[in-house]
């Protein structure tokens, strides 16, 4: 088989019914082996046999189902998204106006003041509603029904056309109240459009993940050709050519350093927060950030073989292989729609044939009335709003705590999560180097060692130098003036502080400068075994002390891991960092399972491996190297301070710093799902009673309209009543540390539902 994949952007999806329609509609076509649809990203990935099926046929099938198609690499603009919202809003406003006119006309009739033209007015309103703003629903229903798919659109059209049929019959038979039947057609169309608009408001817009990822790689590069530097497009560069990378620039290609020294931030690849020293012969990765030195890089990989292109492919693959979630409402509809049709057919058969067998005379009028009444009562108007309204409520509660929920699917999947997988750098840790230990070796105090080191490093641009200076500021230690300062890339710095020659750098550098390092070497090996980075301070020819740097663990990380453990949930850490560092962090946090030195393309595979054992997996990360795993996980949670690519790949975004929000989002999702179940129960309760009663042929259409209003009202009241977080969690949230409260306030999030923000305009600042 010549299997190929078609990746397409799909427009016009409003809810999970649409995604299931696409899966079934395309999945039943010959030659199609797999169909994956993402509502949040508005995309479909179709695997098919090119010998049996042409891509154009697949695109036509999507359009026949009522959807639009586009190139997924061309991200929709903000204006296009707003235009879609306006279009749906215009439909809702028009059907809303038609509904109000219909309601007023029927109210006059019920009050005993009918107008002779009321049936004709109601007929006009019904035809305009069904074939005007509701025409797109009819097209989708027809496309679904032709392929044997019974979804909410089909059920709605059965109810609308039952209303039209009953109304037309009413012109000839007094047993059929024409205005009431026409009114049903208007109201079910309006409610269906309202459901679609609510879903559109709360779902996530198109994903721009791959486009944002590839934008990290510069579009042009400075290539050295014929002794001159030329700026050329990256796609025109060939392996073996030399590229210049200046300080502060992103590396445009994968390659090896041919000349120069610098520190390069490769945290997007390895997850290690401490930048790497790069010199001749050492590899650099496209998209990583060059710090202070100028580099000449010999190109090794370009185009589809480059690192960022590989990560982009991994994201697309993860999206295709992400486990599908059959929403609760879809499982209900699998039985509900055939059930309604069966009741309608049974009611007609009973009064047309059964009545003849029992009483000796058929009752065709009652048979038709009963069948139409069943179809009218069978449409659950509140169904389409049950999940979106629960999501709106959960989203509002979560937003107050710095948690952004992006899809209803994430809420349903989250409640079943049994394994939480955490990235290390930037997720469980702060993501930047910090001085964690100061070890005196020559009789000097820790404060004196810190002052001398900060005095030297104050003039350095190295990231580790910044960490030492930052620690001095925290301790209130003022650096002294430094003379004769000199930085030696990849080794350390030297200078004169308070009249004494001083050195800060690696022990190897100090040994090369004639300093005795044997005693310090033994001490350093113990710290390095724990995954710490060690730099030494020497004054004269003696070691004064060691400074140990590491990525500091976030304040609430241990508490979060402990909470999940008490709930019986499994936690593990997945990181690209080295084994010693990963195991040290895991031990401090109480995480027993630690997977280290895992590359981005391997992370999603590790998540799939856990999923293959029957686990629902939540992945928490913040970096580019986490994006494939965030996409692959059943629920991806991105730290909002992370990269755009991670945020775009996630189902839930945590705006607030710290990990407590992971636990809070889990609790909110579980209780929001409970709200969804309650909403669906209420939505179907009226239909569950009304449909069997309608088979008697005694239920007037007006009762269907009353049931519609009652079910929608009940769902609204239930969605916004009660609390989603337990009182204990609310109390803990309000008593969070001042640091967390400050970080949250900086993000513009109220510390609690009752908090207020006061904004000043301050003049006179210079």
Backbone angles phi, psi at 265, to 5 degrees: -85, 110
Query: Tokens 């099938």 identify what position?
Result: 61
Give the alpha-carbon dihedral of 463, 464, 467, 473, to 10 degrees.
Answer: -100
Per-domain residue ranges of the chain = 3-74, 78-202, 218-305, 410-429+554-669, 432-552
Q: Are 596 and 615 in contact (CB under 8 A)?
A: no
For the domain made up of 218-305, the CATH class stated in words is mainly beta
Structure tokens, 687: 């239909």
Cβ contact 8:279 at 8 Å:
no
Is the CB of residue 466 less than 8 Å from the CB of residue 274? no
What would the CATH number be for the domain defined by 3-74? 3.30.70.100
> How remote is the C-alpha of 496 from its chain's centroid?
53
User: What pTM does this model have?
Assistant: 0.63
pLDDT at residue 752 in the model: 38
Alpha carbon distance 489, 335 (integer Å): 70
Buried b (16+ CB within 10 A) or exposed e, 386-398: bbbbbbbbbbebb
**pLDDT < 50 stretches in the chain:** 204-211, 213-214, 734-757, 759, 766
Distance CA 292, CA 280 (A): 16
Distance between CA atoms of 506 and 510, rounded to whole angstroms? 6
The structure tokens listed for 198 are 């609510």
How far is C-alpha 211 from the chain's CA centre?
Answer: 16
Rg (the chain; Cα; Å): 33
What is the C-alpha separation between 406 and 255, in angstroms, rounded?
Answer: 38
Nearest to 504 by CA among 464, 473, 476: 464
Closest CA to 536 of 392, 443, 455, 438: 438
Contact 676, 328 (CB under 8 A): yes
What own/partner pairs with CB < 8 Å and gap ≥ 24 does 508-514 have?
Answer: 510/536, 510/538, 510/543, 513/538, 514/541
**CATH 3.40.50.720 given to domain 432-552:** no
Domain 410-429+554-669 bears CATH identifier 3.90.1150.10: no
DSSP bridge pairs for 263:
277
In angstroms, the CA 312 to CA 743 distance is 32
In this structure, what token pair is assigned to residue 305?
Answer: 């073989």
Coil, strand or helix: which one is 325?
A: coil
The confidence score (pLDDT) of residue 561 equals 93
Please name every residue paired with 665 in a beta bridge, in sequence order, or none if there are none.
none
Q: Catalytic positions, please?
A: 423
pLDDT at position 647: 62
Task: List, in order, residues 6 or more apart from 725 with CB less than 8 Å away.
Answer: 397, 664, 667, 668, 671, 733
DSSP state string for 625-665: GGHHHHHHSSEEEEETTS-HHHHHH-SEEE-SSSSHHHHHH
Q: 3-class SS at 744?
A: helix
Q: Which of 631, 632, 626, 578 is nearest to 610 (CA)?
A: 632
């Amino acid at each position: 088989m010549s299997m190929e994949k078609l990746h397409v952007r799909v427009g016009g999806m409003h809810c999970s019914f649409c995604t299931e329609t696409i899966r079934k509609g395309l999945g039943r076509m010959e030659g199609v082996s797999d169909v994956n649809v993402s509502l949040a990203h508005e995309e479909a990935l179709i695997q098919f046999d090119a010998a049996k099926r042409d891509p154009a046929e697949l695109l036509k099938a999507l359009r026949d189902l009522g959807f639009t198609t586009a190139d997924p690499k061309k991200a929709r603009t903000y204006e296009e998204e707003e235009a879609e919202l306006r279009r749906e809003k215009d439909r809702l406003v028009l059907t809303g106006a038609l509904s109000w006119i219909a309601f007023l006309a029927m109210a006059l009739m019920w009050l005993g003041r009918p107008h002779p033209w009321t049936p004709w007015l109601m007929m006009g309103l019904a035809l305009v509603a069904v074939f005007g703003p509701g025409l797109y629903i009819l097209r989708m229903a027809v496309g679904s029904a032709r392929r044997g798919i019974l979804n909410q659109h089909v059920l709605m059209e059965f109810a609308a056309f039952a209303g039209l049929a009953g109304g037309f019959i009413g012109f000839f038979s007094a047993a059929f109240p024409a205005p009431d039947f026409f009114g049903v057609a208007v109201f079910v169309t309006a409610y269906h459009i309202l459901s679609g608009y609510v879903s559109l408001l709360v779902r996530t817009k198109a994903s721009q993940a791959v486009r944002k990822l590839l934008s990290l790689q510069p579009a042009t590069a400075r290539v050295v050709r014929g002794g001159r530097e030329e700026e050329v497009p990256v796609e025109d560069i060939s392996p073996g050519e030399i590229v210049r990378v200046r300080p502060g620039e992103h590396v445009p290609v994968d390659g090896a350093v041919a000349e120069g020294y610098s520190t390069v931030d490769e945290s997007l690849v390895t997850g290690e927060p401490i930048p790497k020293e790069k010199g001749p012969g050492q590899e650099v990765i496209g998209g990583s950030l060059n710090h202070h030195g100028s580099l000449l890089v010999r190109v090794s990989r370009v185009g589809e073989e480059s690192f960022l292109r590989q990560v982009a492919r991994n994201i697309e693959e993860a999206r295709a292989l992400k486990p599908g979630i059959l929403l609760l409402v879809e499982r209900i509809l699998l039985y509900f729609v055939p059930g309604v049709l069966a009741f309608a057919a049974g009611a007609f058969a009973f009064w047309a044939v059964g009545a003849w067998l029992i009483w000796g005379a058929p009752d065709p009028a009652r048979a038709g009335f009963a069948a139409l009444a069943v179809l009218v009562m069978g449409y659950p108007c509140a169904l389409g709003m049950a999940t979106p309204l629960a999501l709106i409520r959960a989203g509002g509660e979560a937003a107050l705590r710095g948690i952004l929920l992006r899809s209803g699917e994430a809420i349903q999947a989250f409640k079943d999560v049994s394994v939480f997988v955490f990235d290390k750098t930037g997720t469980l840790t702060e993501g930047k180097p910090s001085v964690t230990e100061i070890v005196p070796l020559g009789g000097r105090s820790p404060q004196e060692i810190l002052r001398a080191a900060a005095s030297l490093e104050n003039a350095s641009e190295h990231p580790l130098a910044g960490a030492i200076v930052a620690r001095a500021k925290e301790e209130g230690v003022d650096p002294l003036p430094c003379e004769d300062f000199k930085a030696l890339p990849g080794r350390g710095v030297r200078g004169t502080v308070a009249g004494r020659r001083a050195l800060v750098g690696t022990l190897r550098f100090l040994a090369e400068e004639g300093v005795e390092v044997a005693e310090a070497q033994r001490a350093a090996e113990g710290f390095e075994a724990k995954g710490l980075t060690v730099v030494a301070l020497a004054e004269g020819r003696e070691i004064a002390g060691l400074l140990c740097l590491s990525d500091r663990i976030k304040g609430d990380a241990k508490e979060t891991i402990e909470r999940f453990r008490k709930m019986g949930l499994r936690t593990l850490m997945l990181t690209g960092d080295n084994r010693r560092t990963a195991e040290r962090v895991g031990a401090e946090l109480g995480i027993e399972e630690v997977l280290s030195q895992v590359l981005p393309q391997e992370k999603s595979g590790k998540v799939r491996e856990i999923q293959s054992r029957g686990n629902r997996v939540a992945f928490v990360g913040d970096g580019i190297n986490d994006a494939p795993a965030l996409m692959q996980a059943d629920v991806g949670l991105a730290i909002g301070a992370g990269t755009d690519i991670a945020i775009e790949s996630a189902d839930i975004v945590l705006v607030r710093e710290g990990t407590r929000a992971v636990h809070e989002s889990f609790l909110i999702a579980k209780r929001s799902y409970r709200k969804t179940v309650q909403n669906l129960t209420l939505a179907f309760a009226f239909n569950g009673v009304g449909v069997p009663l309608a088979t008697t042929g005694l239920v007037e259409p007006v009762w269907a309209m009353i049931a519609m209003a009652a079910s929608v009202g009940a769902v609204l009241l239930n969605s916004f009543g009660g609390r989603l977080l337990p009182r204990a969690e609310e109390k803990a949230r309000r008593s969070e540390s001042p640091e967390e409260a400050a970080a949250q306030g900086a993000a513009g999030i109220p510390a609690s539902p009752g908090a207020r923000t006061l904004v000043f305009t301050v003049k006179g600042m210079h």
